[in-house]
A and B are shown apart, each in its own frame.
Chain A
Amino acid sequence: MKTKFITKTLAILVIALFSSVCGFAQDTPQLTDPEIAKVAVVANQIDVDYAKLAIDRSKNPDVREFANTMIADHSAIIKQAVALVTKLGVVPQDNAMSKSLLQQADETTKKLKAAKGKAFDKAYIDNEVAYHKAVIGAVKTVLIPQSQNAELKALLETAMPILETHLHHAEMAQSKILK
Chain B
Amino acid sequence: MNTVRNHSVSLAIFVVGLACVFLVLTGFNNTDVNPNTPTKHVVTIYQMKFNPENISVKKGDIVEWVNKDFVPHDVTEINKKWTSKPLNEGDTFSKVVTKSFKYFCSIHLVMKGSVTVKD
Residues in chain A within 8 A of chain B (CB atoms) = 65, 68-69, 72-73, 76-77, 79-80, 158, 161-162, 164-165, 168-169, 172
Contacts A161-B47, A162-B48, A165-B48 given; indicate if A73 touches B71 (C-beta within 8 A).
Answer: yes
A76 pairs with B71, CB closer than 8 A: yes
A80 pairs with B70, CB closer than 8 A: yes
A69 pairs with B48, CB closer than 8 A: no
Q: B111 on the interface (CB 8 Å rule)?
A: yes
Residues in chain B within 8 A of chain A (CB atoms) = 47-49, 69-72, 86, 106-111
A169 pairs with B109, CB closer than 8 A: yes
A72 pairs with B71, CB closer than 8 A: yes
In the complex, chain B residues whose CB is within 8 Å of the CB of A72: 71-72, 86, 107
**Which secondary structure characterizes the binding site on chain B?**
loop
Min CB distance A83 to B, Å, is: 10
Give complex CA distance A161, B70 in Å: 12
In the complex, chain A residues whose CB is within 8 Å of the CB of B69: 162
Min CB distance A50 to B, Å, is: 17
Min CB distance B43 to A, Å, is: 17
Interface centre among B47, B69, B70, B106 (most CB of A within 10 A): B70
Q: Considering the complex, give the chain B residue whose CB is closest to the CB of A76.
A: B71
Q: What are 20 A-B residue pairs whose CB atoms fall within 8 Å in the complex?
A: A65-B106, A68-B107, A69-B107, A69-B108, A72-B72, A73-B71, A73-B72, A76-B71, A76-B72, A77-B71, A79-B70, A80-B70, A161-B47, A161-B48, A162-B48, A162-B69, A164-B48, A169-B109, A169-B110, A172-B109
